[in-house]
Amino acid sequence: MTSSGAEIINGDKLVLRGLKFHGFHGVKPEEQKLGQKFLIDVDAWTDLQAAGISDHLQDTISYTAIYSIVRDVVEGAPHNLLESVAERIASTVLSKYTQISAVRIKVGKPHVAVLGSVDYLGVEITRHRSSVVQS
């Protein structure tokens, strides 16, 4: 999935691309019964300078920690809408890691019943720490 968002956020960021998981999200009964593949991209804005200077993992956020959040949401409880999946990932990342100032989450569904050829259909959301709504 490529970035095409109109909003530009400046600064350092952690980047996770092309995460693939099997989940049971969708409004159709067969989607919730059989499940399907979902593609996820994450950008997490945070200051990476200390880690760049020190070369120590404790001065940054591990990619695997964010990966685990995404996996838990996508492989977890079903959601009707991709918007809800993206929102849960964003709110969990921002709640767990206070040093992250903003996240962009893309959720893609490559196997969609449409009349035509597509790579995927999906949603992209951007959330800033100031816009986090606690659920």
Q: What digits encode the pLDDT tens for the residues 33-73?
A: 899 999 999 999 999 999 999 999 999 999 999 999 999 99
Helix/strand/coil for 104:
strand
Mean per-residue pLDDT, 27-35? 87
Question: Nearest 5°: phi and psi at 67?
Answer: -55, -45
Catalytic hit among 37, 96, 106, 109? 109
Mean per-residue pLDDT, 3-15? 70
Whether 109 is a known active-site residue: answer yes
Mean per-residue pLDDT, 23-27? 93
Tokens (6 digits) for 46: 């945070």
Tokens (6 digits) for 32: 């919730």
Mean pLDDT of the chain: 90
